[in-house]
Amino acid sequence: MTKTVPLFDAAGLAQQRFRQSLRDSTQSETPPSPALDQRQRPLHDLRISVTDRCNFRCTYCMPKDAFGRDHAFLAHDEMLRFEEIARLTQLFVRLGVRKIRLTGGEPLLRKNIERLIEMLAAIDGIDLTLTTNASILAKKAQSLRDAGLQRITVSLDTIDDTVFRRMNDVNFPLARVLEGIDAAARAGLTPVKINAVIKRGINENAILPLARHFKGSGHIVRFIEFMDVGATNGWRMDDVVSAAEIVDIINAEIPLEPIDPNYHGEVAGRWRFKDGSGEIGVIASVTEAFCRDCTRMRLSTNGRLFTCLFADHGVDIRAPLRDGADDDALLRAIAALWQSRDDNYSERRTANTPRQKKIEMSYIGG
C-alpha cells in the first residue's frame, strides 16, 4: 500500500493532482515515458540546484542589496541530501529525463559535491553536466571528472578584468576563472561552454572580445539576453541586447552561419564561424518565444519542483520523500505535475508585463 502523506502547501490544480496521485493506493500502472505536458512537450531535462549559496554577488542574479551579510541561507537539514537527489533523479529518468544539470547558487560550494556526482554518474542513460562561476574550478576540475562529470558550463560575462570584477561585485579576478576553464579542458570536461549574460550599458562591449578570445579554442560561448527572472535584479526591457543584435555584432567582423540544433528543445540558437574555427550560441530568452519547446523541470535546493524558470511558486517534494512515500507514488506525482503543465510565460510577456514576485534565479538554479 502506498503511504498517504500530506503534500504541497501551494494551491492550484497541479498541487491537487500531486496529492491525488499520492493518495491513490489502487493505481498500479506506470506513467507513460516520456511524460508530455499540456503543450505536448516531453520531460527531457532536470536542473538540480544543490546550494543556494554563492561567493559572487553578480548584479543580475544575487545583488548585494538583496543578498547581504545578513541574508538567511538554507540550513543544512533543509537542503536535499545526496541520497534524496539521487533517488529523485532515478525517478525522473523513468519519466524520460536524459539531461541532468547541477546548478546553484555556486554548486562547487556544496561540500563533497564529487560524491553526488559519483551517485548520479552511476545512473544509466543520462548526460551529466554542471554550471559554475569557476572560482574554484582550477583545483576541482580533475576530481569532478574522476567522479563522472561529463561536461561543464562556466558563467563568464566579459573578458575584461575591470568589468568582470565590477560585475561579480566581490573583486574576484578574471585570471582565476580562465585558469579554471583551462583546467576543465585538461581534465576532459569538454567542450566547455561559456555563458555570458549581456546587459546594455554594462557589458555589451564584451560581445566581440569574448567571441575572439574563445574562437578556435574548442569552447562554445553562449550569449544570453538579460532576463526578468526573480524580483531583485532591476530588469528593464531597455537593458536587453537582443539575440539578433548580438549575432549582427559578431557577424560584422567574424562571418557566421546558422546550424541545426543538437536536439529538440535546445535552448541556444547555434551559429558557426564560416572559417570552420568553432561556434557560438545565442539564447533569445526575452525577444523570442523562449518557452515554446521547453523540456525542463527544476528541483530547488530544499526540494521544491518548478515547471518554469519564471515561476512564482513550486511544489514541495521533500516532505513526502522524507515522510515515507514510495517510488511509485512519487513517480505518479511528478508525472501529474508535468502532465498538467501549461507554462508559456515568454510567449505572453511584453515590455509592459508587470513585474510580479517570481522565484530568484539563485534559488531556482537558472
Domain boundaries, the chain: 13-26+37-364
Using the predicted structure, report yes or no on whether residue 204 has a pLDDT greater than 60: yes
60, 167, 38, 48: which is closest to 104 by C-alpha?
Answer: 48
The predicted pLDDT at position 75 comes to 93
The predicted pLDDT at position 235 comes to 60
CATH of the structural domain 13-26+37-364, one choice from 2.60.40.10, 3.20.20.70, 3.50.50.60, 3.40.50.300: 3.20.20.70
The predicted pLDDT at position 227 comes to 75
The predicted pLDDT at position 5 comes to 42
pLDDT in tens, 276-320: 999 999 998 888 766 678 899 999 999 999 998 777 778 999 999
The predicted pLDDT at position 229 comes to 59
pLDDT in tens, 56-100: 988 777 888 778 888 888 999 999 999 999 999 999 999 999 999
363, 326, 297: which is closest to 87 by C-alpha?
Answer: 326
The predicted model scores a pTM of 0.88
Using the predicted structure, report yes or no on whether residue 345 has a pLDDT greater than 70: no
pLDDT in tens, 158-189: 999 999 999 999 999 999 999 999 999 999 99
Using the predicted structure, report yes or no on whether residue 224 has a pLDDT greater than 70: yes
Helix axes 327-339, 13-23, angle to 10 degrees: 160
